[in-house]
Amino acid sequence: MATPEYKLAFDGGWEYDPAPESTDHISVRKRYGLFINGEFVAPEKGRYFDTINPANEEKLSRVADASEADVDKAVRAAREAYRTTWGRMKPAERGKYIYRIARIMQERSREFSVIESLDGGKPIRESRDVDIPLAAAHFFYYAGWADKLEYAFPGRSAKPLGVAGQIIPWNFPLLMAAWKIAPALACGNTVVLKPAETTPLTALKLAEVIAEAGLPPGVVNIVTGAGKTGAALVQHPGIDKIAFTGSTNVGRIIQKALAGTNKKYTLELGGKAANIIFADAAIDQAVEGIVNAIFFNQGHVCCAGSRLLVQESVADEVIAKLKDRMETLIVGDPLDKNTDIGAINSMMQLEKIQSYLKIGKAEGAEMHQSSCRLPKRGYWCRPTIFTGVSQSNRVVQEEIFGPVLAIQTFRHHDEAVMKANNTPYGLSGGIWTDKGAKIFKITQSLRAGVIWANTFNKFDPTSPFGGYKESGVGREGGLHGLDAYVKLGAQ
């Protein structure tokens, strides 16, 4: 492990005292059934699986494994609710239900934050300040659209699709549930949602909120399970729309599976975003931006800035400062408020990241990791950078989904753009410079759906999110996110 050339002067001896968030105010049941037709029911085949805390590998709860029969039951409930209640309700009343969800989530935000960090491994600072507030805000934003849809599509009438099947990933469990459910409900659809198998708990807590908000039974159904459950949902003939967030490989399988059906779909898939640092950038801010881009949420972010493109003249300085800054990152207990980087979400993901570390080294890149201590139990990965990589290296082309950054240099902005665009992905990108014209030139040239200029990894309910090329189809968030949940017709 290489040592940084100089260190930030903390004068040594300063240790952060543990500052753990307490868990005594949360309630997690020992076992969860499936949330179908407004109540928790046991799975048909009686199968359950464990959901564990990735920071200590201890079991948190047991969760139902939904079979085809369970999915069928959920879809039928959603169809019935669409036909009898939700689809017929006055839009303004629909909106009021969705506002209720937002308000209850805000009231219970602390509980949600803690459970999110327990089940998924992300630092409490992030679940508290990002995931949960944004999830509530998402419901609040789309609630207001329910009775205003005619203003969103000039010249057209917007009708609901029917029943939406929604499959979400484990990196932002509650936030992704909100991204999916809120616009679907606002547009008058009913929902069957499948959370990721490693992070089902906050979705099940959301089911409680939905019941508490008094939504008619069947409007939102939540079925837990793994890939098989998702496949049953995709293939169910009673579904009108599939919304999926996850890997490009699974997205491709889903797009193929939907071929020949009339199901609408949106896909939010993988990414390999380039974060481009120009010599005229504010370097210290850019270094903070790099850290936020790749180490936010352990790098389990589809739009993570997992490639750094740094202008050659400042490359040494940027990399030295980055290594220095990496040394200060605290990896450890997700519930500790001082923690910067939490636990890797699962053993499977840790193994995948580790295999990429081997691949990177085998391809000739130079690896550097911070020297932080790691807890003994649980799944952990030190913040990692690769230098000396070339465009064709797998760590440059493929999505690792961990705290691993591949660093390349460039001389001219055309070279930066060419390298940035040279992957099959096109989800996001970043640019750091103090020159306005350069910002516009580069942001226009990047083939990606979300571009952060002099910032990174910012999200908002009003801001459309989604990819170009193999990063997906469709947008979520904002006015443009409504499109995924309506069919447009002549007025």
Partner 1 sequence: MSAKKNRRIAVAKTYKIYIGGKFPRTESGRYFTLEDKQGNVIANLCRSSRKDFRNAVVAARKAQPGWAKASAYLRGQILYRTAEMLEGRREQFVAELVLQASTQRAAEQEVDLSIDRLIYFAGWTDKYQQVFSAVNPVNSSHFNFSVLEPTGVVSMLVPDSSSLLGLISNVAPAIAGGNTCIALASESKPLCAVSFAEVLHAADVPGGVVNILTGFRSELTEFFASHMDVNAVIYCDGGKAVAKTVQELAANNIKRVIARSRMDWSGDAENPYLIRDTQEVKTTWHPIGN
82 vs 179, which CB is nearer to partner 1?
Answer: 179
> Binding of partner 1 at residue 269 (CB under 8 A)?
yes
Size of the site for partner 1 (CB under 8 A): 47
Site for partner 1 in 396-425 (CB under 8 A): 424
| Amino acid identity at 325 | R
Tell me the closest approach of the beta carbon of residue 486 to partner 1, in angstroms.
12
**Binding residue for partner 1 (CB under 8 A) from 12, 13, 46, 155?**
155
Among the residue ranges 124-132, 167-175, 220-228, 456-464, the one whose residues contact partner 1 (CB under 8 A)? 456-464
Site for partner 1 in 210-249 (CB under 8 A): 248
Among the residue ranges 12-20, 210-218, 293-301, 445-453, the one whose residues contact partner 1 (CB under 8 A)? 445-453
> Binding of partner 1 at residue 273 (CB under 8 A)?
no
- Would residue 454 be called left, alpha or beta, if left means φ above 0 and alpha means ψ between -120 and 50 degrees? left
Contacts of 256 (CB under 8 A, 6+ apart): none
> Binding of partner 1 at residue 287 (CB under 8 A)?
no
Q: What H or E segment, with its residue span, contains residue 411?
A: none
Annotation says 268 is catalytic: yes
Instruction: Give the integer Cα–Cα distance in Å for 316 and 313.
Output: 8
**Binding residue for partner 1 (CB under 8 A) from 26, 372, 463, 487?**
463
Q: Are 297 and 403 in contact (CB under 8 A)?
A: no
> Binding of partner 1 at residue 472 (CB under 8 A)?
yes
The structure tokens 């199968």 sit at 47
The structure tokens 């995924």 sit at 484
Of 111, 268, 398, 476, the active-site residue reads 268
Instruction: Give the integer Cα–Cα distance in Å for 477 and 184.
Output: 11
> Binding of partner 1 at residue 460 (CB under 8 A)?
yes
360 vs 466, which CB is nearer to partner 1?
Answer: 466
Identify the bridge partners of residue 368 per DSSP, sorted by sequence position: 385
Count CA within 13 A, CB hemisphere, residue 220.
Answer: 30
Q: Are 289 and 456 in contact (CB under 8 A)?
A: yes
> Binding of partner 1 at residue 443 (CB under 8 A)?
yes
CB count in 10 Å sphere of residue 340:
20
Residue 455, SS3?
coil
361 vs 458, which CB is nearer to partner 1?
Answer: 458
Instruction: Give the integer Cα–Cα distance in Å for 279 and 289.
Output: 15
**Binding residue for partner 1 (CB under 8 A) from 324, 363, 454, 487?**
454
> Binding of partner 1 at residue 165 (CB under 8 A)?
no
CB count in 10 Å sphere of residue 9:
6
The set of catalytic residues is 268, 302
Residue ranges that bind partner 1, judged by CB under 8 A: 137, 154-156, 248, 251-253, 255-256, 258-260, 267, 269, 424, 439, 443-444, 447-455, 458, 460-466, 468-473, 475, 478-480, 488
